[in-house]
Amino acid sequence: MIADHRFHALATLRLSLNVLAQPLQQVAEMPSQALARAADFFTTQGELLRENRDLRAELLEQSAAAQEATMLRAEEEHLLAMAPGHGRYADHGVVAEVLYTARNPFTRKIVVDKGLTQGIKAGMPVIDGTGVVGQVTSVGTFTSEVTLVTEKGQSVPVMLVRNGLRAIAVGSGKDGSIDIPFMPVSADVRQGDVFVTSGIDGTYPPGLMVAKVSSVEKNSAYAFARIVAHPLAAVDNYRFVLLLPLAPPPPRPETLEEEVRKPVKERPAHAPRRQGGGAAPR
């Protein structure tokens, strides 16, 4: 021990014994290392499962927020399309939200959240950012019923943009289409033509987009052509619509009889009468 302490005489022997004991030491440490690794494995797996669960919940929240943002962006674009800067009649309308469709599944009607308290009247035209949606047909205190242009029998006076041809667009009540009845076979109507409101009925303002012709069938054996169009407005989409006020009735023209019955203006008392058709003296 003194020699080893003073002169490090047993250093080589110690190294040799250490090399021989190393395998035994590793074998002795294997159980403890195995237990430590097992504990780490289960701990790490639990943490990963917990993190995975938290990330999945966060992903669902972000997905819901993203979907909500997409819907809000779409509604914002739809509302901007009805803004005064994008339409001729938007600055006089009332924006309403669609609450639900009509209870009868065989009719094409919707219910909006505006009624008598907001000044809504029956007959008011309803549009969106692209065209005519329908017309207010029933008004309650707080809600109103709107009949869509695709409802069977719902008619709108229209005019062809390309050549000014006037017609009546009538809802077919099926397939979301619109018929253009009583058009002669010789009428100049082509596929892709656009119909707008003519304004001659005094209800719909002129120039509102109504429908686009999808098919034209002309048979010389029949007097009228079969013309089918589809509405340009999203009648079955979106949550907001614009209710336009009714146009004021045009002034009634005065008849000749009323003109004759008007009282003649009396002459001034100081105005001298003409003598013999000559000029009055000044």
Q: CA torsion sign, 76 to 235 to 203 to 142?
A: negative
Q: What count of other Cβ atoms lies within 10 Å of the Cβ of residue 133? A: 27
Q: Is the pLDDT of residue 231 over 80?
A: yes
Query: Would you place residue 254 in the very low, low, confident or very high pLDDT band (cuts 50, 70, 90)?
Result: low
Average pLDDT, the chain: 79
Res 148: pLDDT: 94
Q: Is the pLDDT of residue 165 over 90?
A: yes
SS3 sequence, 126-145? EECCCCEEEEEEEECCCCEE
Query: Which tops the pLDDT comparison, 178 or 250?
Result: 178
Q: Is the pLDDT of residue 89 over 60?
A: no
- Alpha helix ranges (H) inside the chain: 2-7, 11-81, 256-261
Task: Please answer whether residues 178 and 230 qualify as being in contact, where contact means their C-beta atoms are separated by less than 8 angstroms.
Answer: yes
Q: Is the pLDDT of residue 125 over 80?
A: yes
* Buried b or exposed e, range 55-82, using 16+ CB within 10 angstroms: eeeeeeeeeeeeeeeeeeeeeeebbebb
Length reported for the chain = 282
What is the rounded distance in angstroms from the CA atom of residue 196 to the CA atom of residue 188? 16
Task: Please answer whether residues 150 and 173 qualify as being in contact, where contact means their C-beta atoms are separated by less than 8 angstroms.
Answer: yes
Q: Letter for the amino acid at 281?
A: P
Q: What count of other Cβ atoms lies within 10 Å of the Cβ of residue 16? A: 11
What is the rounded distance in angstroms from the CA atom of residue 232 to the CA atom of residue 120? 24
Distances, alpha carbon 204 to alpha carbons 5, 132, 199, 268, in Å: 114, 9, 6, 49
Query: Which tops the pLDDT comparison, 215 or 51?
Result: 215
Res 27: pLDDT: 76
Tokens of 119: 């000044």
Q: Is the pLDDT of residue 141 over 80?
A: yes
